[in-house]
């Protein structure tokens, strides 16, 4: 019978529940919806198998993000492998209920479990969510609500992907405030002119700028007090001496009415407020330029900061503007005219917000539509570069601006502009050089900060690390020295034993040599024997040193030497050991000169052997003798070609009797 298990993902962790008799329950889904509210009935049907809480808020956010994308995390896979029986016993037939279809497909692909998300599963999950605090001990309803709220906030912030350095929302708000300030300053300036014109109506005709008019009204106040002393101050405000003199002359013959001091005070206060708003508008414009140079430098370089900011604000974000095609960007801001043209079946508009660009105003009347379409194309390219590039420069914006200039000259003069591929390759090269210069400047700034003493902690930390590394070098104690001596002597004994076995084989093969070879072999064997004795001697010395390594040992003659070894480094220890071995070898050689020579087995007379003749030993190996009398080892089967022919060999590869006779004849010769 198939068993139903339900996987429940919550902000606090993963839960696995077993549903009993789900096939019968599925036939009565309306009754199940009513029975979900009863905790006792629901707990009889649905039982908790396992629950794994999240260790931290970051782990919970990571798992929930993966579940929303239909990915199987390591935490979830480990939980399923631990609690789901089908992963342990493949023979058992079960069905896993999930809410997310993508997650179910991932579980089915990974483990081959039958997954469902329809039928009774949604109602079971709704009941589990309702009664979760009664299933898990220590999880109160208040804690459940708190974990859900915290995870919801962190999940929403993660989806927004807010970047402090590239926040296009600041551009949207700044351009909105700028537009509002322009309207407010114009309204206040108009009210200011109407109010002050009651006293000095000629000033509004002479000074048309709102900011300058407010400053002049704040300076002049009562026109009867205006004299030649105010000429320099008026020149500073207006930057025109003729206008300043005209204002003084007009104040003498003005047709304005007299005004009370209280009214002048109010006018002065309002003029200062208009002046402060105008100054703040300039500061905000500078702020907008700096933000555009960081967020969308190529778009700002191509079309200007104000027009680019209005395009971003109208589309909603820089990403939305980058997703727009060039045809949409061209008429962005002229939606009403577009819908009216579609309704009346008339000509659609040629431009929207990009009409405020200087390129369209410079183009002729017949070329405005062409240049607006071309400009929209380049703006779309610049916006996508700004949106999806990690490292931004103005290289592409400058090259795109050059292309628009060349297209304008093409419409006027007919000069053929450069191809887009050529321009983009140049822009890419300039982009790389700009990035290299930026990296070099940052390194130079860091170096200057270190030299000026702004950054003092970095070199101090490095010095501390070096001192710490020097302090970590261990001191060589007497026990360590003795242990190293033992290891080195044992390794020397092993290597000498291997060499002795090789020389024994050579000795067996050289039994049939001449007298000179015999003497050399005997001398070689005499050299071998002291080595063996020396090895035994060395091993005995090692054992003796190990025995004397006990702290309560009696002092011996080697005591001063051991005291010196305490201060030696590892290289001096190994070199001293090698010197001791060489001294022992010389002593053993001198003692072995008195040892009698060993008797050799049957050897040939020197008269029977001549140099350069090959002698076979046991039919397997042969020894050749050079004119100098030194034995040389040769390969097997070094007989003449006649003897090595197939007819002279038996089945086992041994020599036949005829071959042996031929060999004897040759030796007798």
Structure tokens at 599: 């008797």
Print burial letters for 499-513: b (CB count within 10 Å at least 16), e (below 16): eeeeeeeebebbbbb
Structure tokens at 542: 């090692």
Q: Specify the pTM.
A: 0.52
pLDDT, position 505:
52
Separation CA 351–CA 326 (nearest Å): 11
- The CB density around residue 497, as the number of other CB atoms within 10 Å, is 12
Candidates 179, 181, 174; CA nearest to 333 is 179
Write 544-547 long-range contacts (CB < 8 A, 24+).
545/482, 545/485, 545/486, 546/482, 546/486
DSSP assignment letter at 48: E
Residue 631: helix, strand or coil by DSSP? Answer: strand
pLDDT, position 392:
87
pLDDT, position 25:
58
pLDDT, position 452:
72
Find the DSSP H helices in 198-303. Answer: 202-206, 210-220, 231-238, 241-252, 261-295, 297-303
Residue 120: helix, strand or coil by DSSP? Answer: coil
Angle formed at CA 557 by CA 556 and CA 559, multiple of 5 degrees: 70
**Residues in contact with 45: Cβ distance below 8 Å, sequence separation at least 6, in sequence order:** 19, 20, 21, 25
Binned at pLDDT 50, 70 and 90, residue 172 comes out as very high
Separation CA 419–CA 308 (nearest Å): 25
Q: What is the residue whose two structure tokens read 């140049």?
A: 426
| Beta sheet of 94-97, edge-to-edge order | 46-53, 13-19, 3-9, 94-97, 114-116
Angle formed at CA 106 by CA 102 and CA 109, multiple of 5 degrees: 135
**Residues in contact with 26: Cβ distance below 8 Å, sequence separation at least 6, in sequence order:** 119, 120
| Category of 14 on φ-ψ map: left (φ > 0), alpha (ψ -120 to 50) or beta | beta
Write 574-580 long-range contacts (CB < 8 A, 24+).
574/484, 574/488, 577/485, 577/488, 577/489
What are the pLDDT digits (tens) for 555-579? Answer: 444 444 444 444 444 445 445 544 5
Structure tokens at 499: 């060499």
pLDDT, position 216:
92
What are the pLDDT digits (tens) for 64-98? Answer: 989 888 888 999 989 988 888 765 555 567 888 99
Residue 616: helix, strand or coil by DSSP? Answer: strand
Separation CA 367–CA 230 (nearest Å): 51
Angle formed at CA 36 by CA 32 and CA 42, multiple of 5 degrees: 95
Binned at pLDDT 50, 70 and 90, residue 514 comes out as very low
Separation CA 638–CA 663 (nearest Å): 12
Separation CA 352–CA 372 (nearest Å): 9
Separation CA 215–CA 230 (nearest Å): 13
Print burial letters for 610-628: b (CB count within 10 Å at least 16), e (below 16): eeeeebbeeeebbbebeee
Separation CA 150–CA 142 (nearest Å): 12
Residue 624: helix, strand or coil by DSSP? Answer: strand
What are the pLDDT digits (tens) for 536-545? Answer: 444 444 444 4
Quick check: 473 pLDDT over 90? no
Contact present, 47 and 53 (Cβ < 8 Å): no
Residue 242: helix, strand or coil by DSSP? Answer: helix
**Residues in contact with 619: Cβ distance below 8 Å, sequence separation at least 6, in sequence order:** 654, 655
Separation CA 637–CA 624 (nearest Å): 12
What are the pLDDT digits (tens) for 378-416? Answer: 999 999 999 988 888 899 999 999 999 999 999 988 888
Helices and strands (H and E) in the chain: how many: 31, 8
- The CB density around residue 607, as the number of other CB atoms within 10 Å, is 8
pLDDT averaged over the chain?
Answer: 74
pLDDT, position 536:
41
CA torsion, points 111, 112, 116, 117, in degrees to nearest 10?
A: 40
What are the pLDDT digits (tens) for 251-285? Answer: 988 888 888 999 999 999 999 999 999 999 999 99
Quick check: 320 pLDDT over 70? yes
Question: What phi, psi does 47 have (nearest 5°)?
Answer: -120, 145
Contact present, 478 and 562 (Cβ < 8 Å): yes
**Residues in contact with 28: Cβ distance below 8 Å, sequence separation at least 6, in sequence order:** none
Question: For the residues 501-514, what does the mean pLDDT come to?
Answer: 54
Q: How many residues does the chain have?
A: 669
Separation CA 83–CA 574 (nearest Å): 60
Q: What is the residue whose two structure tokens read 């005219």?
A: 337
Q: Which of the pair, 300 or 390, is modelled with greater confidence?
A: 300
Bridge partner residues of 621 (DSSP) = 617
Print burial letters for 361-378: b (CB count within 10 Å at least 16), e (below 16): eebeeebbbbbbebbbbb
End-to-end CA distance of the chain: 99
Separation CA 108–CA 198 (nearest Å): 85
Question: For the residues 500-526, what does the mean pLDDT come to?
Answer: 50
Residue 51: helix, strand or coil by DSSP? Answer: strand
CA torsion, points 147, 150, 156, 157, in degrees to nearest 10?
A: -140
DSSP assignment letter at 55: S
């Amino acid at each position: 019978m198939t068993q139903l298990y339900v996987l429940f993902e919550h902000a606090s962790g993963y839960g696995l529940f077993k549903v009993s008799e789900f096939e019968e329950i599925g036939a009565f889904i309306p009754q199940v919806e009513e029975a979900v509210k009863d905790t006792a009935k629901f707990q009889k049907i649905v039982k908790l198998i396992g629950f794994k809480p999240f260790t931290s808020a970051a782990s919970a956010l990571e798992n929930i993000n993966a579940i929303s994308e239909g990915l199987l995390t390591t935490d979830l896979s480990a939980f399923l492998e631990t609690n789901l029986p089908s992963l342990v016993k493949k023979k058992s037939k079960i069905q896993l209920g999930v809410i997310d279809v993508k997650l179910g497909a991932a579980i089915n692909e990974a483990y081959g479990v039958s997954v469902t998300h329809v039928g009774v599963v949604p109602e079971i999950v709704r009941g589990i969510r309702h009664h979760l605090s009664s299933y898990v001990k220590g999880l109160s309803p208040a804690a459940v609500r708190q974990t859900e709220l915290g995870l919801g906030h962190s999940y929403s912030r993660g989806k927004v992907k807010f970047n402090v350095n590239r926040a296009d929302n600041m551009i949207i708000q700044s351009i909105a405030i700028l537009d509002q300030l322009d309207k407010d300053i114009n309204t206040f300036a108009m009210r200011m002119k109407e109010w002050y014109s009651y006293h000095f109506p000629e000033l509004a005709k002479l000074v048309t700028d709102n900011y300058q008019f407010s400053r002049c009204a704040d300076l002049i106040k009562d026109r009867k007090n205006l004299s030649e002393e105010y000429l320099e101050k008026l020149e500073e405000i207006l930057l025109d001496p003729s206008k300043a003199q005209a204002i003084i002359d007009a104040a003498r013959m003005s047709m304005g009415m007299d005004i009370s001091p209280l009214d002048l005070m109010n006018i002065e206060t309002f003029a200062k407020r208009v002046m402060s708003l105008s100054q703040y508008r300039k500061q905000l414009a500078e702020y907008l330029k700096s933000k555009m140079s960081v967020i969308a430098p190529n778009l700002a370089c191509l079309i200007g900061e104000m027009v680019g900011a209005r395009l971003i604000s109208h589309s909603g974000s820089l990403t939305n503007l980058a997703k727009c095609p060039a045809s949409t960007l061209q008429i962005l801001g002229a939606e009403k005219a577009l819908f009216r043209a579609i309704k009346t079946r008339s000509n659609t508009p040629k431009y929207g917000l990009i009409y405020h660009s200087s390129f369209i105003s410079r183009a002729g009347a017949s070329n405005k539509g062409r240049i607006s379409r071309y400009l929209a194309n380049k703006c779309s390219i610049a916006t996508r570069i700004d949106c999806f590039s990690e490292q931004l420069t103005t290289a592409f914006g400058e090259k795109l601006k050059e292309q628009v200039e060349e297209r304008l000259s093409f419409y006027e003069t007919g000069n053929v502009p450069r191809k887009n591929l050529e321009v983009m390759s140049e822009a890419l090269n300039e982009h790389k050089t700009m990035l290299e210069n930026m990296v070099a400047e940052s390194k130079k700034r860091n170096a200057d900060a270190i030299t000026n003493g702004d950054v003092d902690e970095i070199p101090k930390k490095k010095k501390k690390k070096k001192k710490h590394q020097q302090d970590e070098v261990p001191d060589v104690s007497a026990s360590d020295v003795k242990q190293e001596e033992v290891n080195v002597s044992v390794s020397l004994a092993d290597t000498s034993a291997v060499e002795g076995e090789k020389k024994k084989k050579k000795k067996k093969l050289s039994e049939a040599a001449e007298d000179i070879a015999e003497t050399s072999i005997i001398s070689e064997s005499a050299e071998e024997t002291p080595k063996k004795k020396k090895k035994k001697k060395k091993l005995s010395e090692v054992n003796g040193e190990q025995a004397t390594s006990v702290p309560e040992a009696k002092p011996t003659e080697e005591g001063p030497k051991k005291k010196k070894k305490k201060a030696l480094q590892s290289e001096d220890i190994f070199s001293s050991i090698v010197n001791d071995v060489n001294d022992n070898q010389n002593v053993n050689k001198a003692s072995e000169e008195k040892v009698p020579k060993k008797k050799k087995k049957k050897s040939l007379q020197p008269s029977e052997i001549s140099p350069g003749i090959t002698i076979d030993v046991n039919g397997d190996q042969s020894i050749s003798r050079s004119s100098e009398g030194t034995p040389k080892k040769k390969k097997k089967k070094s007989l003449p070609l006649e003897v090595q022919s197939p007819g002279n060999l038996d089945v086992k590869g041994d020599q036949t009797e005829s071959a042996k006779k031929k060999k004897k004849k040759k030796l007798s010769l």
